[in-house]
Amino acid sequence: MEESFIFPGDGAHHTIVQFRYVVFRPFVDEILLGKIKSCSKEGVCVSMGFFDDILIPADSMQDPTRFDENEQLWAWEYQMEDGKHDLFMDIGEEIRFRVVDNTFVDTTPVGPENVSKDSDVTEHEVKKSPYTITASTSEPGLGLLSWWNS
Protein backbone atom coordinates (compact mmCIF):
# COMPACT_ATOMS: atom_id res chain seq x y z
CA MET A 1 0.00 0.00 0.00
CA GLU A 2 1.34 3.40 -0.89
CA GLU A 3 0.53 6.93 0.24
CA SER A 4 -3.04 8.17 -0.03
CA PHE A 5 -4.00 11.22 -2.08
CA ILE A 6 -6.92 13.59 -1.70
CA PHE A 7 -7.76 15.47 -4.89
CA PRO A 8 -9.22 19.00 -4.84
CA GLY A 9 -13.03 18.92 -4.86
CA ASP A 10 -13.10 15.21 -3.94
CA GLY A 11 -13.67 14.17 -0.34
CA ALA A 12 -12.41 10.63 -0.88
CA HIS A 13 -8.85 9.45 -0.51
CA HIS A 14 -7.20 7.47 -3.28
CA THR A 15 -4.57 4.85 -2.51
CA ILE A 16 -2.49 2.69 -4.84
CA VAL A 17 -2.45 -0.91 -3.62
CA GLN A 18 -1.05 -4.21 -4.82
CA PHE A 19 -2.84 -7.47 -4.04
CA ARG A 20 -3.27 -11.04 -5.14
CA TYR A 21 -6.51 -12.98 -5.37
CA VAL A 22 -7.56 -16.55 -6.05
CA VAL A 23 -10.38 -17.45 -8.42
CA PHE A 24 -12.26 -20.70 -7.90
CA ARG A 25 -13.93 -22.00 -11.04
CA PRO A 26 -13.43 -25.71 -11.65
CA PHE A 27 -13.60 -27.10 -15.16
CA VAL A 28 -16.55 -29.20 -16.33
CA ASP A 29 -15.63 -32.91 -15.86
CA GLU A 30 -13.09 -32.05 -13.14
CA ILE A 31 -13.22 -34.40 -10.14
CA LEU A 32 -13.18 -32.72 -6.71
CA LEU A 33 -13.45 -33.68 -3.04
CA GLY A 34 -15.80 -32.12 -0.52
CA LYS A 35 -17.88 -32.89 2.55
CA ILE A 36 -21.63 -33.48 2.65
CA LYS A 37 -23.27 -30.39 4.12
CA SER A 38 -26.94 -31.44 3.93
CA CYS A 39 -29.43 -33.71 2.18
CA SER A 40 -32.90 -33.03 0.84
CA LYS A 41 -35.25 -34.58 -1.72
CA GLU A 42 -33.64 -32.35 -4.37
CA GLY A 43 -30.20 -33.86 -3.78
CA VAL A 44 -27.02 -33.61 -1.73
CA CYS A 45 -25.41 -30.25 -0.87
CA VAL A 46 -21.62 -30.37 -0.66
CA SER A 47 -19.12 -27.97 0.90
CA MET A 48 -15.43 -27.59 0.17
CA GLY A 49 -14.89 -25.45 3.29
CA PHE A 50 -14.34 -22.23 1.35
CA PHE A 51 -17.24 -22.82 -1.08
CA ASP A 52 -20.68 -24.24 -0.21
CA ASP A 53 -22.87 -23.91 -3.32
CA ILE A 54 -22.43 -27.40 -4.78
CA LEU A 55 -25.47 -29.57 -5.52
CA ILE A 56 -25.57 -33.21 -6.57
CA PRO A 57 -29.13 -33.61 -7.92
CA ALA A 58 -31.09 -36.77 -7.20
CA ASP A 59 -30.88 -37.97 -10.81
CA SER A 60 -27.06 -37.60 -10.83
CA MET A 61 -26.29 -40.16 -8.11
CA GLN A 62 -25.48 -43.87 -8.27
CA ASP A 63 -28.30 -46.08 -9.45
CA PRO A 64 -30.36 -47.17 -7.54
CA THR A 65 -30.34 -44.41 -4.93
CA ARG A 66 -33.25 -43.46 -2.68
CA PHE A 67 -34.04 -40.72 -0.17
CA ASP A 68 -34.76 -42.09 3.31
CA GLU A 69 -37.47 -39.90 4.87
CA ASN A 70 -36.77 -41.08 8.44
CA GLU A 71 -33.02 -40.44 8.29
CA GLN A 72 -33.31 -37.46 5.90
CA LEU A 73 -30.33 -38.93 4.02
CA TRP A 74 -29.66 -40.41 0.61
CA ALA A 75 -28.77 -44.09 0.42
CA TRP A 76 -27.21 -46.06 -2.41
CA GLU A 77 -28.86 -49.50 -2.55
CA TYR A 78 -25.74 -51.56 -3.28
CA GLN A 79 -26.51 -55.07 -4.53
CA MET A 80 -24.36 -57.88 -3.09
CA GLU A 81 -24.62 -61.66 -3.19
CA ASP A 82 -26.42 -61.73 0.16
CA GLY A 83 -28.90 -58.97 -0.81
CA LYS A 84 -29.09 -55.21 -0.92
CA HIS A 85 -27.13 -53.01 1.48
CA ASP A 86 -27.96 -49.35 2.09
CA LEU A 87 -24.84 -47.19 1.91
CA PHE A 88 -25.97 -43.92 3.52
CA MET A 89 -24.54 -40.54 2.61
CA ASP A 90 -24.04 -39.17 6.12
CA ILE A 91 -23.56 -35.48 6.88
CA GLY A 92 -19.87 -34.58 7.22
CA GLU A 93 -18.62 -37.54 5.16
CA GLU A 94 -16.03 -36.89 2.45
CA ILE A 95 -17.38 -37.27 -1.07
CA ARG A 96 -15.75 -37.39 -4.50
CA PHE A 97 -17.79 -35.83 -7.32
CA ARG A 98 -17.52 -34.76 -10.95
CA VAL A 99 -18.37 -31.18 -11.97
CA VAL A 100 -21.22 -31.26 -14.52
CA ASP A 101 -22.15 -27.58 -14.82
CA ASN A 102 -21.19 -24.10 -13.63
CA THR A 103 -24.03 -21.61 -13.22
CA PHE A 104 -23.60 -17.86 -12.86
CA VAL A 105 -26.52 -15.63 -11.81
CA ASP A 106 -26.48 -11.85 -12.02
CA THR A 107 -27.12 -10.69 -8.45
CA THR A 108 -26.81 -6.99 -9.19
CA PRO A 109 -29.33 -5.13 -7.02
CA VAL A 110 -32.31 -3.65 -8.84
CA GLY A 111 -32.65 0.07 -8.17
CA PRO A 112 -36.04 1.68 -7.54
CA GLU A 113 -35.99 3.40 -10.95
CA ASN A 114 -35.63 0.00 -12.67
CA VAL A 115 -38.51 -1.74 -10.87
CA SER A 116 -41.85 -1.67 -12.63
CA LYS A 117 -45.11 -1.49 -10.68
CA ASP A 118 -46.10 -4.92 -12.05
CA SER A 119 -42.88 -6.52 -10.78
CA ASP A 120 -42.90 -9.28 -8.19
CA VAL A 121 -39.72 -7.98 -6.53
CA THR A 122 -40.13 -7.72 -2.76
CA GLU A 123 -37.85 -6.55 0.02
CA HIS A 124 -37.60 -10.12 1.32
CA GLU A 125 -36.69 -11.69 -2.00
CA VAL A 126 -34.85 -15.00 -1.67
CA LYS A 127 -31.10 -14.53 -1.98
CA LYS A 128 -29.57 -16.40 -4.90
CA SER A 129 -26.00 -17.52 -4.98
CA PRO A 130 -24.03 -15.77 -7.74
CA TYR A 131 -22.18 -19.01 -8.59
CA THR A 132 -23.28 -22.63 -8.16
CA ILE A 133 -21.82 -25.94 -9.22
CA THR A 134 -23.92 -28.90 -10.32
CA ALA A 135 -22.15 -32.21 -9.77
CA SER A 136 -22.56 -35.95 -10.29
CA THR A 137 -21.56 -39.15 -8.49
CA SER A 138 -23.06 -41.59 -10.99
CA GLU A 139 -19.78 -43.26 -11.99
CA PRO A 140 -17.64 -45.95 -10.36
CA GLY A 141 -15.12 -44.43 -7.95
CA LEU A 142 -17.30 -41.40 -7.23
CA GLY A 143 -19.35 -40.96 -4.06
CA LEU A 144 -18.27 -41.34 -0.45
CA LEU A 145 -14.58 -42.11 -0.04
CA SER A 146 -15.47 -44.78 2.54
CA TRP A 147 -17.31 -46.78 -0.16
CA TRP A 148 -14.14 -47.22 -2.19
CA ASN A 149 -11.43 -47.26 0.52
CA SER A 150 -12.59 -50.30 2.50
**CATH code at 139?**
2.40.50.140
Residue 64 lies in a domain: yes
pLDDT band, residue 132 (cuts 50/70/90): very high
CA distance 30 to 26: 7
Assess if residue 5 is contained within a domain: no
> Is 89 contained in some domain?
yes
For residue 58, how many other CB atoms are within 10 A of its CB?
Answer: 15
pLDDT tens-digit map of 10-63: 878 888 888 898 888 999 999 999 999 999 999 999 999 999 999 999 999 998
For the chain, the average pLDDT equals 87
Q: Is the dihedral of CA 65, 53, 127, 89 positive or negative?
A: positive
Measure the CA–CA gap between 144 and 77, rounded to whole angstroms.
14
**If you ran DSSP here, which 8-state letter would residue 58 be given?**
G
CB 70 within 8 A of CB 21: no
pLDDT band at 108 (very low <50, low <70, confident <90, very high): confident
> Which pLDDT band, with edges at 50, 70 and 90, does 115 fall under?
low
Q: What are the C-alpha distances in Å from 87 to residues 42, 80, 139?
A: 18, 12, 15
* pLDDT bracket for residue 126 (50, 70, 90): low
Residue 35 placed within a domain: yes
pTM equals: 0.76
Number of domains making up the chain: 1
Strands of 9-92 (E only): list them. Answer: 13-15, 31-40, 43-47, 54-57, 65-68, 73-80, 83-88
Structural domain range at position 137: 27-113+124-148
Question: Residue 81's pLDDT is what?
Answer: 82
**Residue 117: pLDDT over 90:** no
Nearest Cα to 134, choosing from 46, 54, 62, 40? Answer: 54
What's the one-letter identity of residue 55?
L
**What does the alpha-carbon distance between residue 44 and residue 74 come to, in Å, rounded to a whole number?**
8
What's the Cα-to-Cα distance from 5 to each of 2, 10, 14, 58, rounded to whole Å? 10, 10, 5, 55
Instruction: Provide the pLDDT confidence category of residue 80 given band limits of 50, 70 and 90.
Output: confident
pLDDT reported for residue 93:
95
